[in-house]
Amino acid sequence: MYYFPKEVWYQIKSYEFQLKFPKQIQNQYRSYLYSMVRLPYFLKEEHKKNINYQNNFLRINYSFLWDAFNDNYIKQLIEKELDRMNNDFDSIYLKQICHGRF
């Protein structure tokens, strides 16, 4: 059996990842994740507005996200979007909904 040096193996795996998940696909996955995290705010489901619920929900229903991103990165994305929605939902989205922009 042949073994590759770590540097070569890293390059091979990096190239494989880039072929499977180009930047465009990664951006689509991120956008999809953000929309799923925003949904409880639009539906006014308070019990679903936390990182644990969102992480479990996405892991069960949208496991393909874990093919492209690692667990810590997904949690960071969820946390970032939850913070953004907690701070900006009332000021941005409600105005847009009231003015018929959604």
Q: What is the pLDDT along the chain (102 residues), one digit of tens a residue?
A: 677 788 888 788 887 877 788 889 889 999 999 999 999 988 888 899 899 999 999 999 999 999 889 999 999 999 999 999 888 876 666 666 665 555
pTM, two decimals, is: 0.73
Whether 83 and 89 have beta carbons less than 8 Å apart is answered as no
| Distance, CA of 54 to CA of 37 (rounded, Å) | 7
Integer angstrom CA distances of residue 68 from 23, 26, 72, 75, 99: 11, 7, 12, 13, 37
